[in-house]
Amino acid sequence: MKIQIFLLMLILACTSGCAQNKADESVNPFYQTLTQEEKEVIIYKGTERPYTGKYDKFYEAGIYVCKRCGAELYKSTDKFNSGCGWPSFDDEIQGAVHRTKDGFRTEITCNTCGAHLGHVFLNEGFTDKNTRHCVNSISLEFIPARVSQGADMDTAYFAGGCFWGVEYYLEQATGVLSVESGYMGGRKENPTYREVSSHQSGHAEVVQVVYNPSKIDYKELAKIFFEIHDPTQVNRQGPDVGNQYRSEIYYRSVEQKEIAEELVSLLELKGFKVATRINPATTFWKAEDYHQDYYMRNGGTPYCHKRVDRFS
């Protein structure tokens, strides 16, 4: 009888553990799609090998955000070289990091989404603050304080439904130098259109916009983006349905992020229930040649995009 009870308790424990893992890995539409390697650390609380992370010996000016939800976690001014093999910070952005006792150590997680970051250690004497946040690079994304390709060129990334229509309207804006259709925000390298449209990669259909900031600034460009698609629709745009058609802005700098957030706030004050995600830019994968300048080459006009004044 004791053996039967023990086996029953063991089964219940395993079932509970599996259920917990399933809950931890549940998909939030506003989270970035993670690779399996990223899941091992961010969801299942693993640790990347020391001295292998891309931010271990990285000291550019900017902020570090959560890889999964994009929440701001650390400032570059608080980063220091501890020699431990992982990025080290002696302070976090106020309210950004949650601490949980983990045996003899203290685990740190993103206070917004619960993503595992690493551990915090005290009284080691590395800096005057006597604190070391030991963080996995794979849990972070770095956003430069400012990104510029030159005085007459900058880049923006937008996802707003079928990239044919977004490309069509943004190409017409004065100051835009080029627009290319492609994919971003997924877990697979160099995805194909078939993989994206069949939801095998997690990418969104995205346009890469190269523009002249002296003729059109980022704010005006982002306004056009919000006016040529419906930012209240979730994982669709008109008759096109699927998470590859989600509304999303991928920012390249803190400045772009703040402008995007400002415009969302303006729309919300006007009563729009904005579904647009705002996340750091990752690798842009250019789409197949037959997707480029689709309407210019084939004639016609977009069937699910049109310009609507939303800011007046």
81 has pLDDT over 70: yes
Q: What is the pLDDT of residues 84-106, one digit of tens each?
A: 999 999 999 999 999 999 889 99
Q: In this structure, are residues 96 and 125 in contact, taking their beta carbons and an 8 Å threshold?
A: no
Long-range contacts (CB closer than 8 Å, 24 or more residues apart) made by 195-200: 196/244, 197/242, 197/244, 199/242, 199/243, 199/244
* Residues in contact with 70: Cβ distance below 8 Å, sequence separation at least 6, in sequence order: 32, 141, 278, 279, 280
Question: Which pTM value belongs to this model?
Answer: 0.69
**What residue spans define the domains of the chain?**
33-143, 154-298
pLDDT for 196 equals 94
Q: Average pLDDT in the 183-204 region? A: 91
Three-state SS across 239-277?
CEECHHHCEEEEECCHHHHHHHHHHHHHHHHCCCCCCCE
Domain 33-143 in CATH 2.40.50.140? The answer is no
Hey, what are 205's tokens?
């259909």
Q: What is the pLDDT of residues 113-172, one digit of tens each?
A: 999 999 999 999 999 999 999 999 999 999 887 655 556 788 999 999 999 999 999 999
Report the C-alpha gap between 155 and 209 in whole angstroms: 5
- Give the residue among 218, 54, 75, 222 at the shortest CA–CA distance from 144: 75
As assigned by CATH, the class of the 154-298 domain is alpha beta
Where residue 189 falls (left for φ over 0; alpha for ψ -120 to 50; beta otherwise) is beta
Q: In this structure, are residues 132 and 139 in contact, taking their beta carbons and an 8 Å threshold?
A: no
- Give the residue among 35, 203, 291, 288 at the shortest CA–CA distance from 195: 203
Which alpha helices (H) appear in the chain, and where do they start and end? 2-24, 36-42, 163-170, 193-197, 218-228, 254-269, 294-298
Q: Quickly state the pLDDT bin for 15 (edges 50, 70, 90).
A: very low
| Residue 134 known to be catalytic | yes
Percent of the chain predicted with pLDDT > 90: 70
| Residue 110 known to be catalytic | no
Locus of tokens 């997680």 = 109
Spell 20-42 as b/e; 16+ CB within 10 A means b. Answer: eeeeeeeeeebbbbbeeebbbbb
Where residue 85 falls (left for φ over 0; alpha for ψ -120 to 50; beta otherwise) is left
DSSP 62: E
Which alpha helices (H) appear in 60-192, and where do they start and end? 163-170
Do the domains spanning 33-143 and 154-298 agree at the CATH topology level? no
Q: Mean pLDDT of all residues in the chain?
A: 88
